[in-house]
Amino acid sequence: MHYFLVFLIDQRNRRGHMDLQLAQQRFWEEGYLVLENFFESELMDELHEHILDHFNGAVESVLNDEFKERSQSEIVPWFPQREFIEAFDKIDAIQEFTDLTGAILGQDWNNLYSMVMFSARGTCGQAWHQDCPPEDKSRFNLNRLIYTADITPEIGGQIMVVPRTHKGGALPAGEPDVDFEGQLEFFPRKGTLILLHGHTWHRVMPVAGAYRVSTNYRAAPANIPAEVTDVCVYRNMRYQFSINQVIEERIPAATKS
């Protein structure tokens, strides 16, 4: 199922660089790409130490209670580069990382922001969603998910993806947490990079261990601003973060009167 991932990694290790054309092709076919051992362990440890230092105290989420209840998403975001934590700039300085992004998004792509996503023990993760409305195929974000620590079955918080859904329309309306035919489950290890199209259906499973963390270096094609992710599509609603409101109630067609 993941033969192309192994091929990419083998090519990278053997030749010293990645086959960017193959990576681009596979990403646009599937709507995601998983690359293990992409980042050096020492850099992951450095970033992870900053993350744990930040979340060691009582940190309140900027997301309100209505959003958490309706979206069935329990994460605490942190934007370290906005606080000038220079260690996080080292990711942007990795040439292979920027070359891979450019191969997928094209020239003059837009580097949006980095966002650490922290979930504590007993939280529900994130329900199925698309990061931005899929009606305009040219307007999308690219999630570049970095894992500074292992995600294991004991910890939970694995990421679920439905391949090729970036080619379709909106996530179907319904209950937030269901299983979809063809969904894939990933337990990323430290140093893994996952590239995920913002229109691809994805979710994060509940967290059973002490905590679960990933860092998203979001990007977009040229001339697509950070506001592209202001409206998120869930199975039961569309939510606009800038005004902290539900802007559309989503009801399955079979239940509409």
> Residues 177-189: pLDDT tens digits?
899 999 999 999 9
Q: How confident is the model at residue 27 (pLDDT cuts 50, 70, 90)?
A: very high
Mean pLDDT of the chain: 89
- Among 2-11, 206-215, 236-245, name the one with the lowest average pLDDT: 2-11
Tokens for 149?
A: 């620590």
Question: Distance between CA atoms of 174 and 218, rounded to whole angstroms?
Answer: 27
Kindly give the pairing relationship between strand 211-220 and strand 142-146. Answer: antiparallel
Instruction: Report the phi/psi class of residue 16: left, alpha or beta, with left for phi > 0 and alpha for psi in -120 to 50.
Output: left
The domain ranges of the chain are 34-88+113-255
Q: How confident is the model at residue 11 (pLDDT cuts 50, 70, 90)?
A: very low
> Residues 44-95: pLDDT tens digits?
999 999 999 999 865 555 555 666 666 667 888 999 999 999 999 999 999 9
34-88+113-255 has which fold? Answer: Jelly Rolls (2.60.120)
Whether the predicted model's global pTM rises above the 0.85 cut: yes
Q: How confident is the model at residue 18 (pLDDT cuts 50, 70, 90)?
A: confident
Average pLDDT, integer, range 221-231? 93
In terms of DSSP H, where are the helices of the chain? 3-15, 20-30, 41-55, 65-71, 89-92, 95-105
Residue 213 pLDDT > 80 = yes
Question: Distance between CA atoms of 176 and 109, rounded to whole angstroms?
Answer: 32
For residue 66, what pLDDT is reported? 66
Tokens for 10?
A: 């083998």
Q: Is 234 in contact with 177 (CB distance < 8 Å)?
A: no
Average pLDDT, integer, range 10-26? 72
How buried is 202 (Cβ within 10 angstroms: 0-12 exposed, 13-18 middle, 19+ buried)?
buried
Question: Distance between CA atoms of 48 and 39, rounded to whole angstroms?
Answer: 13
**Residue-level length of the chain:** 257
For residue 3, what pLDDT is reported? 36
Tokens for 133?
A: 């409305």
For residue 65, what pLDDT is reported? 65
Question: Distance between CA atoms of 134 and 139, rounded to whole angstroms?
Answer: 8
Torsion 147-168-19-6 (CA) sign: positive
170: nearest Cα among 127, 203, 135: 135
CA distances to 35, 70, 119, 173 from 145, in Å: 10, 24, 15, 26
